[in-house]
Amino acid sequence: MEIQNLKKSFNQNGGKLRVLDNLSFDVKEGETLVLLGPSGCGKTTLLNILANIEIKDEGIINIDYSKNEIGYMFQTPLLFDWRNVFSNIALGLEIQNKIDSHKKSNILRLLKKYDLEDFKENYPKTLSGGMKQRVAFIRTIITDPSILLLDEPFSSLDFQTKLKLEEELFDFLKNKKIRTIFVTHDIEEAIALGDRVLVLTKRPAKIKKEYSIKLYEKNPIKRRQEPKFGEYFKKLWGELKDETKE
């Protein structure tokens, strides 16, 4: 998966608002690439382009969409109030006409794995924020994506719930061949989850710096306790704070 010289602008007040400026990067098989940047710098726009929701102005996106299933998890769960947990998860499969007994069994297996087995008939209004995000996560992975786009999926959750879902995501991704792009403006989250971190400038977004994260614990909480975690934090904070200045 490779992106070359990607550019995007929007029409605004009779002029052009540049959002993405000549972005180039790749994502290796089995890698979690974190895009770290200030709010409003264009991170979500980039994911929308990769998901074919928005159209780029210029650049090359080397993704074979006919062979790669893309899973996209948003900042908010986007669950349908009139569908219960099970049917919300099954929605993508229904749209693709891939729902069958095997997939239904897989949904039940994942509901059990993520402690939602007793809530499969519940409707979204009865669920906590963390439970809704678990439902959204299962819905995202049930289609067996080879590319995973995650747009600040834990940013609205309390810290304990966020850490729990980080653990679940990390556990899911290990030993998988999925290419993952995780968007955040949370430095700790970037280090805890990422194999590489790209620091983006404020809008229009450019790649300011790239860091390879060399931590050895296989758990995002334990990774936070490694001595090098603090070193990475200082470096990333130094890069990011300059981009938040007016």
134/73 Cα distance (integer angstroms) = 11
pLDDT digits (tens, 9 = 90+) for 63-94: 888 888 899 999 899 999 999 999 999 998 99
For 163, the enclosing helix (H) or strand (E) is: helix 159-173
Evaluate whether 16 touches 203 at the Cβ level (below 8 Å): no
Phi, psi (degrees; rounded to nearest 5) at 133: -70, -30
pLDDT one-digit tens code per residue, 94-141 = 988 888 999 999 999 999 999 999 999 999 999 999 999 999 999 999
Contacts of 233 (CB under 8 A, 6+ apart): 187, 188, 191
DSSP 205: B
Q: pLDDT of 46-67, one tens digit each?
A: 999 999 999 999 999 998 888 8
The whole-number average pLDDT for the span 206-214 is 95
- Least Cα distance to 141 among 185, 101, 171 occurs for 171
pLDDT at 152 over 90: yes
At 4, which helix (H) or strand (E)? strand 2-12
pLDDT > 70 fraction of the chain, expressed in percent and rounded:
99
Domain ranges of the chain: 2-68+146-243, 79-145
Q: Tokens in use for 40?
A: 């409003």
How far apart, in whole angstroms, are the C-alpha atoms of residue 109 and residue 22?
A: 43
What's the confidence (pLDDT) of residue 206? 93
Query: What percent of the chain is modeled with pLDDT above 90?
Result: 74
Is it true that the peptide bond before 145 is cis, omega within 30 degrees of 0?
Answer: no
Task: State the pLDDT at residue 246.
Answer: 54
Query: Whole-angstrom Cα distance, residue 191 to residue 152?
Result: 14
The closest alpha carbon to 93, from 102, 241, 77, belongs to 102
Cα(63)–Cα(3) distance, integer angstroms: 9
Residues pairing with 2 in the sheet: 26, 62
Is 90 exceeded by the pLDDT of residue 155? no
pLDDT at 119 (0 to 100): 97
Per-residue DSSP letter, 143: T
Residue 96 has what pLDDT? 86
pLDDT tops 90 at residue 244: no
Residues ≥6 apart with Cβ < 8 Å to 28:
179
Domain 2-68+146-243 fold is Rossmann fold (3.40.50)
pTM score over 0.85: yes
